[in-house]
Amino acid sequence: MPKDSLSKNLKDNIQLIKDKFNDDMLKSREILNINNENVKIALIYFGLLVNREFIQDSIVKPILEYKEKFGPKDLINTFGRSIINASEFEVNSDIDEICYELMYGKTILIIDGYKEVLIIETNGRITRTPNEPEAEMVLRGPRGGFTESLMNNISALRRIILTPDLKFIYLKIGKETNVYMTYTYIEGLVDTRALKEFEKKLYEMKLDAVVDSNTVAEAISYRGMSPLEIVGQTERPDTLAAKLLEGKIGVMLEGSPVAITLPFLFAENFQTNEDYYVNTFFASISRLARLIGFLISTLLPGLYVAIITYHWEIVPTRIALAILQSQEGLTLPTPIEAIFMLGVFEILRETGIRTPSGLGQSMSIVGALVVGQSAIQARVASPIMVIIVALTAMTALINYKLKGATIFFRVLVLFAGIFFGLYGITVCVYFILFHLFSKKSFGVQYTELFFPFKKGNLKDTFIRATGEGMGRLDDGDK
């Protein structure tokens, strides 16, 4: 069957396009200029996707009010250059391209007698106002955020980095969704090794449907069995700009407010943009708190169970007395108690996210009652275990980016502690360290900024040094 293609007949072309979509929202409108009655012109567009005022003022009105003859030939280009009032237009005859552009909110201008059409930028899709993202709120600093519109996001980024070296490369991905994607970097600053590796992965990627940037992120990362991410995600233009200025690459997708940054290093899990907007001492303390929080959240339950069941002599006398007092008459062995309490917390956390805000408050009260007082009174859990789980829970939420990894490592360490005591935990921690140190994110060592301790790196890891500029990634082969 021959491929569909445009003809020189206006009505046939209109019908062809309408048949492609079979959608009532696809509107067509014929325009007749009194001074050029022999020239038949039609517009096709999706009603909800276009800016109708723009079509009215910048396309229809100029055509209708044109007082002279259009000209004998190359009317398509004449219209684009001289008659209509659009900032962007394109001439095309590929029916698939034309259909894609229609879906993108553009208007097609067809002239009878021409196979080519004029594709005019009239995007009027409703997007939401850029709000500060909930997961990346700051006390002090810019309040912007990305939206689902790629163009808005690009313009937000351009407003921050005013240099022609900021490059955007556009492509379409997803066999079914054909979504616009762009990757961006600053020429001269970018880590060329990482860029090469990323581009290689990108062009090898085969995706059917892409609705969110996370799909792209998973496709380009070769994570294996690791819970740690090698691509970062952000919804803030200032964060993305900062990463680009460090030599990283950003990826944005139409329809997703989440931008991906790569390479992503382990140290970045503990960095927030707010660190650079506030006083250095406060920032350093916050950063240390995050690091310590990560360690507590991962190690505390396992350590507690290991010490209580294998290495009781470590516990100072008075604390041992208090623990013994609280353990008397408990119905569950310590490891089961720990697993039970941690499991209940995870269920409560998940319920809290999924429940509409009205019910959420009731759930938190139920949770507090169940996990707290009643469990202790019923001798299902000891007060010390409730404190341990509460601490673990609170510190887990400090590092939102690491939530998956924290839970995974916590479970590993807990089971290592249950079965082998502190020696098992040591071995488990070393397994995790080996995994961390072996990992690479697009050619860069995952622990590049942390280890080994280099004076330059320490400026922005455990602390945030005064006057810290955005450092560059090493471009060497280490």
Partner 1 sequence: MTVISKYKVVLIIILIISLTGCWDYREMIEYADIVSIAIDEGTESRYIITLEGKKFSQSIDIEAKAVIYSGKANSVLDGLRSAIKQTGRVLYIGSVRAIIISEDIAKEGVREVLDYFIRSNQTRLLSGLYIARGTTAASLIEDTSMYSEFAGYEIDEATRQIELHGSYQNENNLFSIGDRLLDPYKSPLATALETRDLPLNKKTFSIAGIACFNGDRLVGYIEKDFIPIFGVWVNRYGNGVLSIPCDDYGVVSLNIYKSKSKRSYEYKNNKVYLNIDVKMEISYTENGTNKYGIDEITKEEIIGHVIDYFELNIPALHEYAKKELQTDVLEIEEFFRKYHFSTWKKIEGTYDFLRDTQVEADVEVIFRGAGQFQLRE
Partner 2 sequence: MKKDILSVRQTFSIMILFVSSELILNMGDSLKGNGTWIAILIARLITFLVILLYSYIMSYFPDKDIFDVNKVVLGNVIGKIASILFALYGIYVAVMCSGNVISFIKLVTLQKTPIIIIGSLFVGWAAFSITTQGGIEAGGRIASTTWFITVGIWLFFILMLTKHMDFDNLLPILSEPIENVARVSYRHFSVIGGDLVLFMGILIDPSNKNNRRKAYIGSFFITGILLLANNILITAILGTYVNYYLLYPTYTALSLVNYANFISRIELFTSLLLLTCTTAKIVVGIYVAGKGLSKVTKIKSHNFWVYFVALVVLFLSSYSKDRTLLEKINRELLWAKNIVQIVIPLILAIAITIKKPKLAQSELIQ
Binding residues for partner 2 (CB under 8 A)? 310-311, 313-314, 316-318, 420-424, 426-427, 430-431, 433-435, 437-439, 445, 447, 450-453, 477-478
Candidate residues 313, 353, 365, 378; the one interacting with partner 1 per rule CB under 8 A:
313
| Contact of 149 with 254, CB cutoff 8 Å | yes
Taking the complex as a whole, the smallest distance from the CB of residue 6 to partner 2 amounts, in Å, to: 54
- Give residue 105's region: left, alpha or beta (phi > 0; psi -120 to 50): left
For partner 1, which residue of 317, 357, 476, 477 counts as binding (CB under 8 A)? 317
DSSP-H helix ranges across 90-212: 95-103, 150-160, 192-204
Can residue 309 be called a binding residue for partner 1 (CB under 8 A)?
A: yes
422 binds, among partner 2, partner 1, none (CB under 5 to 8 A by kind): partner 2
Residue 333 binding: pick among partner 2, partner 1, none (C-beta 5-8 Å cut-off by kind) = partner 1
Decide whether 181 or 305 has the Cβ nearer to partner 2: 305
Q: How far is the CB of 409 from partner 1 (least distance, A)?
A: 17
Q: Which does 329 bind (CB under 5 to 8 A by kind): partner 1, partner 2, none?
A: partner 1
**Nearest partner of 105 among 84, 93, 120, 88, judged by Cα:** 120
Of 285, 292, 247, nearest to 265 by C-alpha is 247
Place of tokens 């233009």: 237
Report if residue 325 touches partner 1, rule: CB under 8 A: yes
Q: Please state, in angstroms and rounded to a whole number, the distance separating the CA atoms of residues 322 and 386.
A: 14
Q: Per-residue contact track with partner 1, 411 to 430, x per CB under 8 A?
A: -------xxxx---------
Nearest residue to 199 via CA among 266, 265, 268, 262: 262
Q: Which amino acid is at 2?
A: P
Residue of 144, 227, 383, 443 interacting with partner 1 (CB under 8 A): 383
Question: Contact at 8 Å (CB) between 418 and 335?
Answer: yes
Among 183, 310, 409, 446, interactor with partner 1 by CB under 8 A: 310
User: Residue 325's binding partner, choosing from partner 1, partner 2, none, with beta-carbon cut-off 5 to 8 A by kind?
Assistant: partner 1
Q: 53-83 in b/e burial notation, b at 16+ Cβ within 10 A? A: ebbeebbbebbeebeeebeeeebbebbbeeb
Site residues for partner 1 per CB under 8 A:
308-310, 312-313, 317, 320-321, 323-330, 333-334, 379, 383, 418-421
